[in-house]
A and B are shown apart, each in its own frame.
Chain A
Amino acid sequence: MTPSHPRNIFSRIWDAHVIHMVPHGAELVAIDRVFLHERTGAAALKSLAARGRKPIDPARVFAVMDHIVDTNIGRSDATLMPGGQAFITETRDAARMAGITLFDVNDADQGIVHVISPELGIVLPGLTLVAPDSHTCTQGAFGALCWGIGSSEAEHAMATGVLRMERPRTMRVEFTGVAASGVTAKDMIMALIAGHGAGGGAGHVVEFAGEAVRAMDMEARMTLCNMATEFSAMTGIIAPDHKTFAYLAGRRYAPASFADPYWASLTTDEGASFDREILIDAATLAPMVSWGTSPEHAIAIDGAVPHGPQRAHDYIGLAPGTALEGVPIDAAFIGSCTNSRLSDLRRAAQLLKGKRIAPSIRKALVVPGSSAVKRAAEAEGLDRIFIEAGFEWRMSGCSLCFYAGGEGFPEGSRVISSTNRNFEGRQGQGIRTHIASPETVVASALAGAIADPRKVEVLA
């Protein structure tokens, strides 16, 4: 391409993967990696086998047990979720039959799909990666095109090596400036969705850019990209830089070196055009907390509940005008593909160290995003900090990001949660979820009420 045609990273990756354009139809886009989990993957693998098909390249298909696997120490195939064991055993059998790589329940590499994929170097810049899981966009943090699909599409990708796609539009969201202390990637993505709506990204691939994004480490970038799906975007992506390559170099499935000039070409050129651009000054943002039943129902922590849909007010039990700070909570959750990585746990533990959560908290969980995160956290003594403060320390998995019919929060709980969805009933029927950063979860657990993490004193 000549410099007169500046391109963005999305079009570079997309164009390089278009194998065939169907006249008046879809484009066949090559898929480099497929990742499955036991919740939706077994359906895809079984359906593939039922039609007598196999993955065209099993070495590029991976599966992991994360969604309904138990998180209590000493777990087995048995699950608290009624019928959950079948998801595990059927996924295992189907994965073996298909010859794909499986990270099993008690594998040292087990963890939430979007946490372990980067840990193992399965996602790489410039790749296309799909998974039957909406939060696949998380992995766009590595400069790859990664998006969530259904089980049938996963079957299609495994059987053919491609997906039939309509070319999405492009959007750039630029976070300028420097975020204040206590304001995290979670707060930034929540502010975007609150400002532009849960459907604001529909039809678009969103490139996150700007000074505040460049300043983030890889784990914060994953948090930012994670909730692109809550924006209804096809996915989010961040152009790779030295941090990306340093993170991935030498990991099990990644190249030892990223010296090849190809890697440096994965950029967005100065002057590249987008169908839509949004500019947000990160310096103006505060910690965000959701007040309602959609991720777009979120406000700065020192704000008051605005007028929203009556249903949302009724479900969450907060009238317009109520100050969020000080609303009593019953439970706290740190985990999920949004905020369960080592840096999340470190920041949470730093605020928590030497303190006890409020006695009114009836359940408080920390669920590391992967078995590797769990080991690393334990090596630093973070588990002791959480346990001494009154949190339960669990084995890795998706856990109570959603209620699958097994373990749940106490009836009627109001939960402060580092997860991504505050839908009605998401964490259990009648459970009221407030999503926020891990720092805000800790501050609130300490206070027994929604609290501002910027006001928590860090003990030496």
Chain B
Amino acid sequence: MTPFTPITSVAVPVLRDNVDTDAIIPSREMRTTGRTGLADGLFAPWRYTNADARTPNPDFALNDPRAAAARILLGGANFGCGSSREHAVWALAEYGIGCVIAESFAPIFYANCLRNGVLALAMPRAAIEQATWQQLEVDLAQQTVSGPDIDYLFTIDPEARTMLLEGLDAIDLTLKQARQIAGWIKADADARPWVYLEQAR
């Protein structure tokens, strides 16, 4: 994973509560089993007046001329709720979004962001409204969101911060404990034999 470096970008508002992953990337836009080719379908139901013809909806924030090359997205409460589809984050990242700032996040979406190098950070509603369409700098090392009218210090789980900043691969990191995990499983197989099944048929 690429280490997270400070992002300077206009902050594009999609200030609705409960933005679900079906809206971020509808099932019908997930056309291959891979992780790519999804940016075009990002927010398809809202971004296009006709999704099949890809006719842009001028009222949707990402189609606003100010949003060109935007890397920061603003959302409301419970952002990313619904389906666990990681395609929502893959679509955002492929489109160029590196940071989503919302009032709160649904848990699976939050974890998916972290595993893909996208910073999901929570900020109070008032600060988010203030940040709308502003040029922001998001600095993870300093844990700051700054702009013309905003200077916000955010908190983040220390492990999430380290993983993003260093671009760590979670599997590689965990496998450093492989011996300990194997030892635990060996002991557990004695304690809870029903967990451990015969080889697949």
Contact = CB atoms under 8 A, between A and B. Distances in A.
Contacts of B26: 403, 425
A296 B159 contact: no
Contact of B81 (A22, A25, A232): A232
B185 A30 contact: yes
A58 B196 CA distance: 10
Interface string A277-300: 000000000000000001010000
A32 B191 CA distance: 13
Contacts of B185: 30, 57, 161
Interface string A389-422: 0000000000000111100000000000000010
A380 B86 CA distance: 40
B74 to A, nearest CB: 17
A90 B33 CA distance: 8
Size band of the A side of the interface? 35 or more
Contacts of A81: 28
A253 B35 CA distance: 33
B115 A153 contact: yes
A156 interface: yes
A132 interface: yes
B34 interface: yes
B115 A59 contact: no
Interface string A151-175: 1110110011110101000000000
B180 interface: yes
A81 B176 CA distance: 42
Interface in B181-201: 181, 184-185, 188, 192, 194-201
A59 B82 contact: no
Given A160-B171, A402-B22, A59 B196 contact: yes
B23 A425 contact: yes
Contacts of A25: 157-159, 162
Interface of A: 19-20, 22, 24-26, 28, 30, 32, 39-40, 42-43, 46-47, 51, 53, 57-61, 81-83, 86-87, 90-91, 99-101, 124, 126-127, 132-134, 148-153, 155-156, 159-162, 164, 166, 197-199, 202-203, 229-230, 232-234, 253-255, 262, 294, 296, 309, 311, 402-405, 421, 423-426, 429
Interface of B: 16-18, 20, 22-23, 26-28, 30-35, 45, 51, 77-78, 81-86, 89, 104-108, 111-112, 115-116, 157-159, 162, 170-171, 173-175, 177-178, 180-181, 184-185, 188, 192, 194-201
13 contacts: A19-B180, A39-B85, A42-B33, A148-B108, A149-B84, A150-B111, A152-B86, A166-B157, A198-B18, A199-B81, A202-B106, A403-B27, A421-B83
